[in-house]
A = this chain, B = another copy of it.
């Protein structure tokens, strides 16, 4: 049994927390000042409200990309394992690592690929860095499969390259259809796709549904991919263009505002 704290459980954090609870761990979270939605989600997941990190051995940070650094800078004095499982570029992961180490903790790079886990086989937790096996051990008995990669920030890197195809791909097919729409040829494009590229038609339907539900909070992740591409000598424009597409989507009613709660996927 390991004493774990989830910072700050949105949909993904709550699901990952529930996985850890089911594996027999004690999972707490810092509930002060958090929204009713977050409190309800944490309760359902079996997470215990806490006011501090006393006795915690492992911290899991699952927050929006823009909040990853702020979350790590609030750490105070902590000497356990700190898993940053956020969708950030290797460069931002390095910034988080620096803050975590300054607090006296051991940084582990991580990322989640797949939907919030509720059954086995859908979702992977990539881990990297010297202490990655220690975190993998904590997840060993759960439905979220831990995979340890070589390379200090490899877990952040694989998330960026994976999302480059899934989420930027969604933005691209939306932009292609809108470009056709702007010139009055969307029906003709869909008809041609139906003949020569039927996969694109299915992709557009899925992409529009994804963007309507989650596009409002994907902009930061797209900019992180842009920075990752630039860092590798590749064109950042893919990520920045996708961010512009998603930034236009409004937050659906009932969704919590962009804050530090990580909604996941």
Contacts and interface: CB of A to CB of B under 8 A. Distances in A.
B196 A114 contact: yes
Interface in A234-249: 234-238, 240-242, 244-245
A238 B235 CA distance: 9
A157 B231 CA distance: 34
A232 B165 contact: no
Main secondary structure of the interface of A (DSSP, over half): helix
A177 B232 CA distance: 11
Interface stretch (A7-15, A21-29, A180-188): A180-188
Contact of A179 (B113, B126, B150, B160): B160
A180 B199 CA distance: 25
Interface string A153-181: 11001101110111011001101111110
Contacts of A90: 183
> Range of interface residues on chain A?
35 or more
Contact of A245 (B153, B157, B235, B245): B235
A192 B228 contact: no
B240 A235 contact: yes
Copies in the complex: 2
A185 B157 contact: yes
A73 interface: no
A18 interface: no
Interface of A: 90, 113-114, 124, 126, 147, 149-151, 153-154, 157-158, 160-162, 164-166, 168-169, 172-173, 175-180, 182-185, 188-189, 192-193, 196-197, 199-200, 225, 228-229, 231-238, 240-242, 244-245
